[in-house]
Structure 1
Amino acid sequence: MNLRRLKYFVKIVDVGSLTQASEVLHVAQPALSQQIATLEGEFKQQLLLRTQKGVEPTEAGKALYRHAQLILRQFEQAQADVLNAGRALSGQVSVGLAPGTAALTLALPLLQTVHGRYPQIVLHINENLGTMLCDVVREGRMDMAVLYGGGRAMQGLCFDQLLTESLCVVAPSGMLGTDEGVMLESLRDVDLLLPRATNELRRRVDQAFAALHIVPRVVAEMESSDTLAAAVASGVAATILPCSVARGVAASASADLRRIASPAIEMPLALCCSDHLPLSEPAQAVKAILLELASKRMVNLAPVGEARSESAQDVGRPRP
């Protein structure tokens, strides 16, 4: 097997057509077909199916496509590391940030620090759901991601804990009373807006309610901060969020913000990387900066405005 055939194969799958791939690669279609036939002979498997619309990978082809992407990316990283040995770090580094989390508060400090120290590194910052970020990091299509979770072992991934946050309630004005803290049990009959069940935040909230033998009254599932703010402002329901995110939603909705005092629920923010794919030298430098930002508390996760209490100092503290 050679890398050129793998590149041809990946491009054909990407565009879904031998004709289009031939044009993009500047390779005659008969020669391209011969390269694929040789590849199929090496694996003793049919890799592509011809259809009326073009070509699509077989199950064996899908497996090879995933591995080929990783192999080609690792080779590109090796080339870059060798060519740049002894020079200033340069190259592209992709970082995923889960929306609706404190990860987004890392974006600007990360960008500023990387640009200041390694101006030749180009950051690709992607916002997406935590479960999707885990998948693309595991598959090698993204270098690392910052998201809530990391407490459970996940195949193909490793986690570095960055920070931990308390959860707060954001509710229409007057719904929560005047106490600085909220007992979770007092939310028994409150309509709530929460993320979908697969979300790490939702999982921890559901566990806390279950420990009290309470089924939360979830009237809608949503994860967009803007939509949550609009819904709370309209008086539809309350929501539960990490304090760093809750502050922005409460400000947008002109809503009340209270920390959940008992039982305290914490959300760990973690840096997720592949446990089997090595990071390039630029990616290692970016990872070190992310860990540094967390350890020095350079991200502003100070206590929420009106919800200051004796436990407020715990918000945004680094994990030991």
Structure 2
Amino acid sequence: MDRSRIQLRHLRYFVKIVEAGSFSRAAALIHVAQPALSQQIGELEDALGVSLLERSPRGARATLAGKRLYDEAVEIIKRIEHLPEVVRADSVEMAGVVRIGMSPVLASFLSGPVTHACKAAMPNITLHFVSTTSGQLASRVNAKTLDLALIFDDEFATGLTRHALFRQQLFLISQPDVVAGRDRIGREKLGELPLILPSHPHPAIATALVDPLLAKYSDSVRVMVENDFSATVSAVIAGLGSGILALGDLTHVEGASGLKATPIEPPVFMTAVLIANTDLTPAASAIHVVIRNLITRYLDNGRIVGAVRADH
């Protein structure tokens, strides 16, 4: 491998290993198998002709050459990540209104960062946000009353462009005493708990989890809610039972700081996708790129609890 074939992923992986302090921790953070991570670093060292990391039972740390590369790599990654935003930011075309939809769960932790990233990159664009169910958002994108939307799964995306962002694990959302001493909960144990379930669950959740629970443990269902996010959280806060959501971090959910998110095992995943019209305006196309870059950075930094890359 010659220097001209150094890939951005080599630099991303190297930076993450240096920051994590070990191959194993870095592999867990970026959801890449450790042997594959070692291979990528080997390719990078071969291309540069130097040793970049000192490996030991305690972890890995950068050599002198590695420290120099780390500083350069961080800057390179930042420049490349922001390149689409930079080249579009001053364009006269980058003005107008872009209409974005998000499912309530995704909006709970992404609406703020998406707004900030889009306004920083293209301050002349006005964003119009809508938050409702994935099915309704897809229908609105199809009807062209929305330009693009972040939803769960691709079941509703017929006839639209689709970009898979990540796969998100489901969690039991409960009062802390419900799962005291547990760092995960088995599916078979869910039926023993008073549950708060959506009356019209997402098909992916219904097939994998809700339908089997209702068939076997119908007496455990305390509340059926129409709005499966805010109503579920409110009911859990009120102590009416526990909910099931594709959300592992409740710090951004108002009033939910005292609740606990416990991963369900074996895991059930939903796929978060970015859907869009096929004839986006230049402004909407630019926002599409900004959102994808933001999600990539979040995944690289392990900032979405319970998320794995869509191709894993």
TM-score (norm 2): 0.61
Please give the root-mean-square deviation of Cα atoms over the aligned residues, in Å.
Answer: 3.1
**Is 1:317–2:277 an aligned residue pair?**
no
Structure 2 match to 1:239: 243
Q: Which of these two proteins has the greater Rg computed from alpha carbons?
A: 1
Contact 2:100 2:130 in 1 (8 A): yes
C-alpha deviation, 1:248, in angstroms: 5.0
Distance 1:153 1:303 in 2: 23
The CA deviation string for residues 130-150 of structure 1, in whole angstroms up to 9 with x for no partner, is: 111111100111101111111
Structure 2 match to 1:290: 291
Contact 2:251 2:257 in 1 (8 A): no
Distance 2:300 2:128 in 1: 20
Structure 1 match to 2:279: 278
Please, which of 189, 205, 222 is the counterpart of residue 186 of structure 1?
A: 189
**Is 1:263–2:254 an aligned residue pair?**
no
Distance 1:300 1:194 in 2: 32
Aligned residue runs from structure 1 range 32-47, under 5 A: none
C-alpha deviation, 1:269, in angstroms: 0.9
Distance 2:248 2:138 in 1: 22
Distance 2:251 2:223 in 1: 21
SS in 2 for 1:252: coil
Task: Specify the code of the residue in structure 1 equivalent to 2:138.
Answer: C
**Is 1:165–2:179 an aligned residue pair?**
no
Structure 2 match to 1:22: none
**Is 1:197–2:200 an aligned residue pair?**
yes
Q: Which runs of 5+ in 1 are unaligned?
A: 1-85, 305-314
Distance 1:253 1:201 in 2: 27
Distance 2:206 2:252 in 1: 22
TM-score (norm 1): 0.60
CA gap of 1:234–1:300, structure 2 versus 1, over 3 A, is farther
Structure 1 match to 2:138: 134
The CA deviation string for residues 242-267 of structure 1, in whole angstroms up to 9 with x for no partner, is: 2345555696262343211x211112
Distance 1:107 1:154 in 2: 21
Q: Which runs of 5+ in 2 are unaligned?
A: 1-90
Please, which of 122, 127, 131 is the counterpart of residue 123 of structure 1?
A: 127
Aligned residue runs from structure 1 range 44-59, under 5 A: none
Contact 1:162 1:270 in 2 (8 A): yes
Distance 2:99 2:294 in 1: 17
